[in-house]
Chain A
Amino acid sequence: MTANSTTNKAPGASRAGGTFACPPRRRPPAPSARRSGWTPWLYLLPALVLLGGLLVYPICQLGLISFLEYTQAQVSGGEPTTFQGLGNYAALFGDSQFRQVLLTTVVFAAACVLATLLVGCALAVLLTRVRALPRLVLMLAALGAWATPAITGSTVWVFLFDPDFGPVNRALGLGDFSWTYGRYSAFALVLLEVLWCSFPFVMVTVYAGIRAIPTEVLEAAALDGASQWQIWRSVMAPMLRPILVVVTIQSIIWDFKVFTQIYVMTSGGGIAGQNLVLNVYAYQKAFASSEYGLGSAIGVVMLVILLAVTLVHLRLVQRQGEDL
């Protein structure tokens, strides 16, 4: 499997354009790689300038601000900026609300990732079992959900579940049950929306991956009388491993950072802040309460967590022996 497993960190990125065609074995440097001197750096220059200025530099600022006492008064120069050391972090981890938000974020993201992967993979398998027309219909519907901007998606879902005017409560006979009142029902609603707009990516990618599996393998398994689950478990899943890694990592990253959905659907974090997740919490701290230092510290915590996920990803890539 190693030869073909061009793990793509970008969804499908590197598999695009036929890495299967030229298996990335230790191949000699490209011909143009004759001592090229400054040319590659010239080509890289615009990208490096942009990334340096708008990514690396802000990250360094973020780190710095997280060590400062930095509130509105300091920003407007009313009071001197003071170095806090780990003060903000101590305050953060000493705050039971933050610890709870952190836990909530992890659990919520995990639930979203799990649901997205399950639904996405199941539908990808389903796509291989139906004829062209139903497949096209499902594909188009999924693309529609995918294309919907998060903010409109959130708004529409809130409207669908509106206690007074929404069709869902009417259809389910729930009366004027308010979905956003209870902590869990509010999270369930947000989860549904997140699932709705993120399963298509998983479905399309996994489906494309399944199509790449040699037909004979699947036919053989089917002829042996293997059930769909068995085929998935012992034939497809192992072969799709690289793709599954990619969609999982990508989903973790996306779901961990959920902002718009929570912000719009629970009006900024729900009743008594019950639906806060890290991203929204950081935003509220920084921009509503003007505690930029604390907000930055939350940002750093998020960054560190996502970096850990990235490192895991890189390890997996490494194990699959991909040629960078």
Chain B
Amino acid sequence: MKLSARIAAPAAALVLAGLTATGCAPQTSDTGAKRDEKTGTLRVWLFQEVGNKPKEQVVDAAVADFEKAHKGAKVEIEYIPVDTRAQRIEAAFNDPKSAPDLIEYGNTDTAGYVRDGGLADVSAEFAAWDEAEETDPAAEQSVTVGGKVYGAPLFVGVRALYYRTDVFEELGIGAPKTQAELISTARKIHKKKPDLYGLAVGGAYTYGAMPFIWAAGGELADENSGTYKAAVNSAEARKGIEAYTSLFGDDNCPAAKCAAMGGNATVTAFASGKAAMAIGGDFSHAAVEAGPVKGKYAVVPLPGVAEGSVAPAFAGGNNIGVLKSSSHRTLAVDLMKSLAGKQTQAKMFDAMGFLPTYTDVRAAAAKKEPFVEPFVKTLGAGAKSVPASPGWGRIDSSLILPTMFQEIVSGRKDVATASDDAAKKMDAAFADAG
């Protein structure tokens, strides 16, 4: 039996089929919606936060009101993990039929999602919405691309330094005033109390690391008339990276544990009493309050390099937007207004500590709850954001910066090499994004 001859044919056929047949190119998805139904089910994706329960309650209340006001409309909420959101959301952009109607998204995602054609332009509705007038300009900027509005800001996220007052008192130390002091304090605490991380840091906690880069005078990328060039390998940025990664080690936060941690994990470590300090957001407030350290902690702005200065924080925050593919546009926009409206934001602040995006609501909140003061102060000192390039989404989802930090703290590469490699990958992403 002449097998070899017969083997070749099907094997070649299988491979060649792919090369020759051009008829099987996948179609591009038409993300535009054709209909605007006034009844039916609205699917909503929101982020799953640390200690998600209070958020669910506020959302449920808003949804109940919404359903009462809109006969025949039903709302299905799903809470999706933040870390893997990119996969879910981009898959949804690819298939309008199974996509949700409304999504929560990070303000760093805006440019990328708009370029991918996923979000609907709601400029007209936003302009006509009276509540939107008090929106903080920075927050409004975070939903705007090329002068068009693609959603409504949901909350402002800014991070500051949480620390354990009981531990500090016991050791007779005060809140650190400079970055150098922060680092030495962290080590001192871990030495005295080996069970505690001095300052909980995470190799995948990019937003916790950025202030170190900015405080050292570095930038993630430099903009030159609309095009970006990575700057994480500049001398200043490297100094910041050096400072942040110096916190990983047996004298503070053992790399074996901390290299894999992300922002949520560091907050959890603090909330469960395993860390004396952590860089946490206003939005982490509820989670910390729910843990055993309630009443035993305080918050100050993260110190910068010079005494008394504040390290520029990452101006984070989430938005909520309607998908272009939604077949319930009117309903979805209404629900967006309800979820991002003043009333819900005020409640969300009470429940989760999310800083409102409306200047008046935020002022009222600050009056009511003194804990927001350090966050407002941090914002006032000048918060910074990530490059507003559509390429950022890919930089984020392909974990370029976490990989860089992890390579350094695990000792695989030195700061110079790791930052050069990261810069190269970032430049590729910027270039592809055009």
A positions within 8 Å CB-CB of B: 56-57, 59-68, 71-78, 81, 163, 176-178, 180-182, 267, 271-274, 284-285, 287-291, 300, 303-304, 307, 310-311, 314-315, 317-318, 321, 323-324
A61-B25 Cα distance, complex, nearest whole Å:
6
Q: Tell me whether A287 and B87 are in contact in the complex, defined as CB-CB below 8 angstroms, given that A59-B17, A60-B17, A64-B25 are known contacts.
A: yes
* In contact, A62 and B403 (Cβ under 8 angstroms): no
- In angstroms, Cα B260 to Cα A178, docked, is 11
In the complex, which of the residues A62, A75, A323 contacts B94, with contact meaning CB atoms closer than 8 Å? A75
10 closest Cβ contacts across the A-B interface?
Answer: A63-B18, A272-B406, A77-B28, A76-B117, A181-B256, A318-B3, A60-B17, A289-B398, A60-B18, A178-B256
Q: Is B53 on the interface with A (CB-CB < 8 A)?
A: no
Q: Which residue of B lies closest to A80 (CB)?
A: B28
Question: Known interface pairs A72-B116, A78-B117. Does A271 touch B91 (Cβ–Cβ under 8 Å)?
Answer: no
B170 interfacial by beta-carbon distance below 8 Å: no
Q: Are A177 and B18 in contact (CB-based, < 8 A)?
A: no
> What would be 19 A-B contacts, judged by CB atoms less than 8 Å apart?
A59-B17, A61-B24, A63-B18, A63-B19, A64-B18, A64-B19, A75-B94, A75-B116, A76-B116, A163-B257, A176-B257, A177-B256, A181-B257, A272-B406, A289-B394, A307-B15, A318-B1, A323-B1, A324-B1
Q: Give complex CA distance A287, B394 in Å.
A: 11
Cα–Cα, bound, A71→B429 (Å):
12
Assess the B93–A76 pair: CB atoms within 8 A: yes
Give A52 Cβ to nearest chain B Cβ, in Å. 10
Q: Report how many A-B pairs have Cβ atoms within 8 Å.
A: 135
Neighbouring A residues of B398 by C-beta, 8 Å: 284-285, 288-289
Known contacts A77-B28, A318-B4: A273-B399 contact under CB 8 Å: yes
| A76/B260 contact (C-beta < 8 A), A56-B17, A311-B11, A317-B3 known | no
Give A291's nearest chain B residue, CB to CB: B394
Q: Are A75 and B15 in contact (CB under 8 A)?
A: no
Bound Cα distance from A51 to B20, whole angstroms? 19
Chain B residues with CB under 8 Å of chain A are 1, 3-4, 7, 11, 14-15, 17-19, 21-22, 24-26, 28-31, 84, 86-87, 90-91, 93-94, 112, 115-118, 203, 255-257, 259-260, 394, 397-399, 402-403, 406-407, 410, 412, 432
A310→B399 CA distance, assembly (Å): 35
Least CB distance, A184 to chain B, in whole angstroms: 12
Chain B minimum-CB-distance residue to A304: B15
| B interface SS class | helix
A272 contact from B15, B118, B256, B407, Cβ within 8 A: B407
The verdict on A288 contacting B397 (CB below 8 Å), with A271-B410, A323-B1 known, is: yes
Contact between A311 and B259, CB atoms less than 8 A apart: no
Partner of A61, one of B18, B406, B432: B18
CA distance A272 to B408 in the complex (A): 9
Q: Contact between A288 and B86 (Cβ–Cβ < 8 Å)?
A: yes
- Evaluate contact between B24 and A60: CB separation under 8 angstroms: yes
Q: Decide: A287 and B90 in contact? CB cutoff 8 A.
A: yes
Query: How distant is B417 from chain A, measured CB to nearest CB, in Å?
Result: 12
CB closest residue in chain A, given B413: A272
Complex-state Cα separation, A303 to B25, whole angstroms = 19
Report Cα–Cα, A87/B301, bound state, in Å.
48
CB distance from A183 to the nearest CB of B (A): 8
Contacts of A71 in B (CB 8 A): 432
Residues of B within 8 Å of A67, CB to CB, are 19
Q: Closest residue to B259 on the A side, CB-wise?
A: A271
CB of B22 within 8 A of CB of A64, answer yes
Contact: B397 with A289, CB < 8 Å? yes
Chain A proximity of B265: nearest CB distance (Å): 11
A81 contacts B28, CB within 8 Å?
yes
A257 to B25, CA, bound (A): 26
In the bound assembly, the distance between CA atoms of A181 and B403 in angstroms comes to: 13
Closest to A178 in B: B256
CA distance A60 to B21 in the complex (A): 7
| Residues in chain A near residue B26, CB distance under 8 A | 61, 65, 75
Which residues of A are found within 8 Å of B93, using beta-carbon distances?
Answer: 72, 75-76
Chain A residues contacting B117 (CB-CB under 8 Å) are 73, 76-78
Q: Which chain B residue shows the least CB distance to A267?
A: B260
Expressed in whole angstroms, the minimum distance between the Cβ of B85 and any Cβ of chain A is 10
Q: A170 CA to B222 CA in the complex, in Å?
A: 50
Measured between beta carbons, the chain B residues less than 8 angstroms from A78 are: 115-117
Q: Chain A contacts of B94 at CB under 8 A?
A: 72, 75-76
Asked if A271 and B406 make an inter-chain contact with CB atoms under 8 angstroms apart, the answer reads yes
Residues of B with C-beta under 8 A to A178? 256-257
Expressed in whole angstroms, the minimum distance between the Cβ of B147 and any Cβ of chain A is 18
Candidates B14, B90, B394; contact of A59 at CB < 8 Å: B14
B28 contact from A61, A75, A314, A321, Cβ within 8 A:
A75
Q: If A76-B31, A324-B1 touch, does A271 touch B203 (CB 8 Å cutoff)?
A: yes
Q: A181-B259, A273-B403 are in contact. Are A75 and B29 (CB under 8 A)?
A: yes
Other 10 A-B pairs with CB < 8 A, given A63-B19, A181-B257 = A66-B18, A76-B94, A176-B257, A177-B256, A267-B260, A271-B260, A272-B407, A288-B87, A290-B394, A304-B15
Q: Is the CB of B90 within 8 A of A72?
A: yes
- The complex places the Cα of A146 from the Cα of B4 at a distance, in Å, of 35
Minimal beta-carbon separation of B212 from chain A (angstroms) = 19
- B-side contacts of A274, CB under 8 Å: 410, 412
**Which residue of chain A has the shortest Cβ distance to B19 in the bound complex?**
A63
For B29, what are the chain A residues with a Cβ–Cβ distance below 8 Å?
Answer: 75-77
Chain A: minimal CB distance from B336 (Å): 21
Question: What distance in Å separates the Cβ of A66 from its nearest Cβ neighbour in chain B?
Answer: 8
Q: How far is the CA of A176 from the CA of B195 in the complex (A)?
A: 12
Q: Name which residue of chain B comes closest to A62, CB basis.
A: B18
Q: How far is the CB of B171 from chain A (nearest CB, A)?
A: 24
CA distance A318 to B8 in the complex (A): 13
Which partner residue on chain B sits nearest A324 by CB separation? B1
Q: Please name the residue on chain B nearest to A66 by beta carbon.
A: B18
Report chain A residues within 8 Å CB of B394: 289-291
Residues of chain A with a CB closer than 8 A to B91's CB: 287
User: Contact between B24 and A57 (Cβ–Cβ < 8 Å)?
Assistant: yes
A67, A273, A317 — most chain B CB neighbours (10 Å): A273
Q: Which of A65, A272, A304, A307 contacts B412 (CB 8 A)?
A: A272
